[in-house]
Structure 1
Amino acid sequence: MTTTEYPTALRGATAPVLMWAHEHEIEASALNQLRSVSELPGLYGLRVMPDVHWGNGATVGSVIAMEQALAPAAVGVDIGCGVNAVRTSLTLEGLSDRDLKELRKRFEKAIPVGFNMHDRAVNARRLGLQDDSIFWRQFDRLRADGIDKMADRAHRQMGTLGGGNHFIELTTDSTGQVWITLHSGSRGVGNELAKRHISKAKELPENADLPKHLQELSLFYRGTPEMDAYLNDLHWAQEYAMRSRTVMMELVKRELGEHFVTGTHSHAPVFVTFDEEINCHHNYVAEEIIDGRNMIVTRKGAISAKKGELALIPGSMATGSYIVRGLGNEASFQSASHGAGRKMSRSEAKKRFTVEDVERTMQGIEARTDAGVIDEISLAYKDLDSVIEAEKDLVEVVQKLDTILCVKG
C-alpha cells in the first residue's frame, strides 16, 4: 500500500480526529469547528479530508461517525448534494468553438439555473427514465411541518441546477474523449426539510445541556420519533437529489444528441452514445460498519471511497475534475474529498477579484465570465491537484478531466 504523510491527528480534540491535511493549512475557524464537533456526546470518530474548510453547521470535508445519534446541521441544508459524470462517444477534435457556444445556449435553455424552475414538472418517462410516481407519492409522507406547501415547487425544481458552486460542464480526458459532468443537490425542498429538522433538534430537552457553542449541532438519537422523522425526510431528499441530477443529465444528453444529429453543428450528423453514469452524493447520511460496529456516518463535503467504487471529484470552474476509484481505506472511514474546497469566502473573493480576473482564468473555456460568478473564480479555491495528491492512499486516479464548457447558476 502506498505510504503518505497522512493522516495527522488534530491537537486539542476530545475524540479521535484524523486529518488528510496539516493544521497550518486549515483556517482557524475550521479548526475550531472540528474541535467543537469532537466534543459531541457519543462521537466515535471524526475524519477530515484535504479539501477541508469552514462550513455552516459542520466543517466541509468532514466525516462524522456515531453509533446512537446524528446532528442534522452536520449534514447541512443541501441534503444529497453531489455530482454525476458520464463519458460520451464525442472527441475534442469533433467539437468546434461554434459547437461549444451553441451547446451552452442549449443547456442553459433546457435546464433552469439559479432560482429558476421548469414551467411544469419534467416527465421522467418521456426522458426514458423509470416511472417516478411511487417516489412522488412518498412526498405526502414527509414529516416536516408545512412542507406540503412546497409540492409544486419541488416538482418544478426537479432537474434544475441551482447556483453557487453547482455546475454543468463538458470536459475532456487524456484521450480526448468528451465527458458530461454536473453538480447539484436537493434544491429548495431539501433546504426547507433540513432547516425544519435542525430547528426541531435545537428544541429537544435532551440537547438542553449542550454548551452554547454546540447548540447548532443539536442531536437526534436513534430510536426516537424525531430521529425516525428526520431519516424519513432525509432519505427522500437524498433520492430527490439523485433523481434531479439524473434528469439534468438526460436533458444534457438530449441537447447534445440533437445538436449533432440534426446537423446544426459544422459537420455531418453524428449519433452520440453514452457510457454508464457515475452518480454520487457528498452531503449525506448512511449506515455503515466501522470497526465491526454499526455506525451512522455523516459526510459533509466528502464522498464514499469504498474499494473499487468510482466517483467524481470536481475542482473549480476552470480547473476540471478527477474520475477516481476508491481504495477502501479504513482509517478514513472509507471516504475521500468532494472537491478542491474553498480557500476563501465568497465575500472575500468578491472583494479581491474582478471580472477581468475571471476572464483571464477562464480563457479557452466556453462559459459566462460576468460579475455574477466572481465568487466562483478558481483563485478562491484550493489547488485540486494538491488535494488529490494528499489523498493518494484514499483514491486512485482513473482520469483527469479538463473543462471546455461550463454552465453556472
Structure 2
Amino acid sequence: MEGRAEELGRLDFYDKTGRNWRKQLGSLGSGNHFIEIVLDEEDGVWAFLHSGSRGVGNRLATHHIRVAKGIMERDGVELPDADLAYLQEGTPEFDDYITDLEWAQEFALLNREEMMERVIKLLQYRCGDFEVVERIQCHHNFTQRENHFGEDILVYVVRGKGNAQAFNTAPHGAGRRMSRRKARDSFTMDDFDRLMTGIEVNRSEAFLDELPGAYKDIDLVMEQSKDLVEVIHTFRQIVNVKGA
C-alpha cells in the first residue's frame, strides 16, 4: 500500500489533512460501497466493486464546502439554500479545490486497484489459478475539464454512449428513491432475507437502508437512458460484501 501511496504525491500536505488516509488505501468503506462476485448472461464470473476516496475525500470536500460558504457570507451573496455555495473559477480557492479534487480522484482509483488485486488473489487462493480476461475501471464520482460546443466545462462522468447533447455522459446509477432513514423505517429483516435469497451476504440490520427497494428500478432507469448508454452485460449477484 505504501508503494501505491507514493504515486499520489504531496504526501506531507495530505497527511495533515487526514492523518489516517494511508491506512484507508485498500479499504471499502460503508454506505453504498460494496464488493461482489457476479455472473453475467453466460455465467462468466466477474469481481465487481464500488468505492470512492474514503474519509480523506470526504474531509477535503467538507473543507471546500466550508470555504465556499464563508466566501458567500463574506461577499453578501444571497442563495436560496446555503448548500448552493460555490467557488468562482479563477480564484485561489477554486484552484485549491481542483487540485484536491484531482488528488482525491487518483486516491480513489488506486484504492479500487488495491482492493481488486486483493479480491483476485483471494479468489485464486480459494478457486485455483485463472486468467483475468478483462478489467474495467470507472470512477465513482468524476470531474474533469472537457470542451463541449466550444466551451470548457467540468463534467461528472461515468461511461456514456457518445451523446453530445449529454456531454458524452451517462447516469451514475439508479439513484435512491428513499432516504436512509425512511428505508430503515420501511424494511425489516424479513424483507432483507427475502430480497437477498440466493446471495451470500453479511446479514445485518445495518444494511436495511441499502436494500434494492430503497433505490429506483434499475431496469426503468436503463430504459429511460437508452439514448445515453448501451447495456453490455446484466449481472446477477452471488456474493455481496458490504462495509459496516
Q: Normalising by structure 2, report the TM-score.
A: 0.93
1:363 aligns with 2:221: no
In 1, Cα distance between equivalents of 2:210 and 2:72: 41
- Give unmatched runs, 5+ long, in structure 2: none
**Corresponding residue number in structure 1 for 2:215:** 381
Distance of aligned partners of 1:174 and 1:304 in 2 relative to their CA distance in 1, 3 Å threshold: closer
Q: Shift of the alpha carbon at 1:206?
A: 8.4
Q: Among residues 124, 139, 149, which one is paired with 2:11 in the alignment?
A: 139
In 2, Cα distance between equivalents of 1:284 and 1:213: 26
Residues 160 and 248 in structure 1, CA contact (< 8 A), matched pair in contact too: yes
1:251 aligns with 2:118: yes
- After TM superposition, list the pairs within 5 Å mapping 1:159-170 onto structure 2: 159-170=26-37
AA aligned to 2:47 is I
**Corresponding residue number in structure 2 for 1:350:** 184
In 2, Cα distance between equivalents of 1:367 and 1:205: 46
AA aligned to 1:339 is G
**Corresponding residue number in structure 1 for 2:151:** 293
Greater share of residues in strand: 1
In 2, Cα distance between equivalents of 1:203 and 1:132: 32
In 1, Cα distance between equivalents of 2:95 and 2:12: 16
**Corresponding residue number in structure 1 for 2:18:** 150
Larger of the two Rg values belongs to structure: 1
Q: Deviations over 1:264-291 (max 9, x none)?
A: xxxxxxx212123211124232111111
Residues 207 and 219 in structure 1, CA contact (< 8 A), matched pair in contact too: no
1:187 aligns with 2:54: yes
SS in 1 for 2:132: coil
1:303 aligns with 2:158: yes
Residues 170 and 179 in structure 1, CA contact (< 8 A), matched pair in contact too: yes
AA aligned to 2:12 is D
AA aligned to 2:231 is V
Distance of aligned partners of 1:349 and 1:280 in 2 relative to their CA distance in 1, 3 Å threshold: same
SS in 1 for 2:234: strand
Alignment length, in residue pairs? Answer: 243
Residues 201 and 218 in structure 1, CA contact (< 8 A), matched pair in contact too: yes
In 1, Cα distance between equivalents of 2:158 and 2:94: 23
SS in 1 for 2:145: strand
Residues 40 and 46 in structure 2, CA contact (< 8 A), matched pair in contact too: yes
1:275 aligns with 2:148: no
Distance of aligned partners of 1:272 and 1:207 in 2 relative to their CA distance in 1, 3 Å threshold: farther
In 2, Cα distance between equivalents of 1:205 and 1:364: 51
Q: CA RMSD in A?
A: 1.8
1:239 aligns with 2:239: no
Distance of aligned partners of 1:166 and 1:251 in 2 relative to their CA distance in 1, 3 Å threshold: same
- Give unmatched runs, 5+ long, in structure 1: 1-121, 125-130, 262-270, 306-326
In 1, Cα distance between equivalents of 2:77 and 2:229: 37
Residues 148 and 167 in structure 2, CA contact (< 8 A), matched pair in contact too: yes
Percent same amino acid among aligned pairs? 41
AA aligned to 2:130 is V
**Corresponding residue number in structure 2 for 1:312:** none
Distance of aligned partners of 1:200 and 1:254 in 2 relative to their CA distance in 1, 3 Å threshold: same
Q: Shift of the alpha carbon at 1:141?
A: 4.3
